[in-house]
Structure 1
Amino acid sequence: MAGKIRSNKQSKRFNLKVLRALAWRVLLYFLMVTVLWVLAYRFINPPITVLMVMRNVERKADGKAFKIEKDWVDLQDISTAIQRAAVAGEDQLFVHHAGFDMKAISRAYSSNKDGSKVRGGSTISQQTAKNVFLWPGRSWVRKGFEAYFTILIELLWGKERILEVYLNVIEMGDGIYGAEAAAQAYYGKSCTELTRAQAAMIVACFPNPLRWTPLHPTRYIRHRQYLIMQNIRRLGPLKF
């Protein structure tokens, strides 16, 4: 009897040891794959994102045709107007923080906890990590992965690459991704030629580009455009 109890204890210790070893191995593989993935995208432009795939699944379910309009443009060729508009409208501390705006996160948490209108505290870095590496959603699991990838891109990419990727992959309309596709769709010109007012109008629609469009701006969107233009003047040139 004593031998059987001892055998059971040894078996449990063995199982725990195997599980720990397996968990460490899975964690190691995860770290290796994700670090290499992020490092690769420092030099390779992301060809497609999970959001683009999901949007087209939704389009197919609605009987619509496949649609992804995007055209990569290097940061130095993107109008400084839309670079500054994106920072002014989405993340005014972008060049200063290390991926997270703790004050904005705290304000968003307090607002959402009080039952007020749901608001986000995501920085451009967080939005880039979410758009490139993850799926849409608000679960804590996804938020955890978002924080992890945000730290990685801040460490491995730097601010200029983050802004470049952000302005090339973010959703800017139905099937429209990136500044170049948006500029062509809404103003019939390249993103290199956008004026400050046009750039601010595009960015004003970022929170919900499937609901709002620069082609038919609501009073609320025009007000956002005005505020973004004011912030552009206040922030001045971007200094990475």
Structure 2
Amino acid sequence: MARRTSRKPTRRRAASSRPQPLRWLRRWLFRLILLSAGIILFATGIYTIVNPITGIYMKSEELRLGSIDQEWVDFDAIAPVMARSVVAAEDANFCTHWGFDMAAIRTAIEAGGNRGASTLTQQVVKNTYLWHGRTWTRKALEALMTPVVELVWSKQRILEVYLNMAEFDEGVFGVDAAAHHYFGIGPDQLSDRQAALLAAVLPSPKQRSASRPNEFVRRRANAIMDGAATIRADGRAACFED
């Protein structure tokens, strides 16, 4: 009878049975990227049809102050000049960029970082999903989410969320609360001057007042009124106006 001889495992087979940490790491990193992308897409997609209730900063202010003033109002119930005013004040190229204003970024770099270059979309991402502060983690998340919001939301939706989430005074969030707080009227009744004054308190609402404007706020409001009229005339408001 033929004698069976046992074969020694080849070097190749032995090598394949060894743990391969790099392959394991790549696999889990890929899964993490897919999970993160899914979460970001879900978080941005849900707010195309559901209005955000609050944000991290808004919630922290509510806990600090005990209560805040905020009431959601649809875009159609806001005076059109209010939307043009915040665009003129904060992001004049809103209709032409994809979330990042590269011209403004270059200008900010040339100015030594003494002026901001955040677009309205970046501010919406910060106010809705993230926290305030200049940490690298927040900036990285903002950079990831901003183009997704631009892709999934319409420009009008971005402005609608911004106008309802922005802070206009301590504990006063959104244009509805701001219009009543400063002028005793609804957001649909805002005049050109009142809209410009509200936009002029941004982005330092705790240091500026729309109802008791100092010289700086008055000058800024005048410039915003001119800017709002200009972007309406030259078509830079077309992406969010019917």
**Fold match by TM threshold 0.5:** yes
How far does residue 110 in structure 1 lie from its aligned partner after superposition?
2.2
Tell me what 2:176 maps to.
Answer: 180
What is the SS of the residue equivalent to 2:69?
coil
Change (3 A) 1:25 1:67: same
How far does residue 141 in structure 1 lie from its aligned partner after superposition?
2.6
Matched, 1:215 2:211: yes
For residues 78-120 of structure 1, give each alpha carbon's deviation from its aligned partner in whole angstroms, at most 9, with x where no partner exists.
101111101111111111211111010111122235xxxx211
Q: Which runs of 5+ in 1 are unaligned?
A: 60-64
Higher relative helix content: 1
Where do 4+ consecutive residues of structure 1 move more than 3 Å? none
Tell me what 1:33 maps to.
Answer: 39
What is the SS of the residue equivalent to 2:168?
strand
For residues 32-81 of structure 1, give each alpha carbon's deviation from its aligned partner in whole angstroms, at most 9, with x where no partner exists.
11101100001000011011122234x2xxxxx41221111111111011
How far does residue 23 in structure 1 lie from its aligned partner after superposition?
1.3
RMSD, matched Cα: 1.8
How far apart, in 1, do the equivalents of 2:148 and 2:68 lie?
A: 27
Matched, 1:52 2:31: no
Tell me what 2:130 maps to.
Answer: 134
Q: TM-score, normalised by structure 1?
A: 0.88
Tell me what 1:239 maps to.
Answer: 238
How far apart, in 2, do the equivalents of 1:48 and 1:166 lie?
A: 12
How far does residue 184 in structure 1 lie from its aligned partner after superposition?
0.5
Alignment map for 1:67-146 (pairs within 5 Å): 67-112=67-112, 118-146=114-142
One-letter identity of the residue aligned with 1:149 = M
2:30 to 12, 24, 27: 24
How far does residue 170 in structure 1 lie from its aligned partner after superposition?
0.9
Matched, 1:43 2:49: yes
Alignment map for 1:200-211 (pairs within 5 Å): 200-211=196-207
How far apart, in 1, do the equivalents of 2:168 and 2:47 lie?
A: 21
- Is this contact kept in 1: 2:201–2:217, CA < 8 A? yes
Tell me what 1:62 maps to.
Answer: none
**How many aligned residue pairs are there?**
223
How far apart, in 1, do the equivalents of 2:103 and 2:95 lie?
A: 15
Q: TM-score, normalised by structure 2?
A: 0.87
Percent of paired sites with the same residue: 35
Q: Which runs of 5+ in 2 are unaligned?
A: 1-10
For residues 210-233 of structure 1, give each alpha carbon's deviation from its aligned partner in whole angstroms, at most 9, with x where no partner exists.
111112211111110011011112
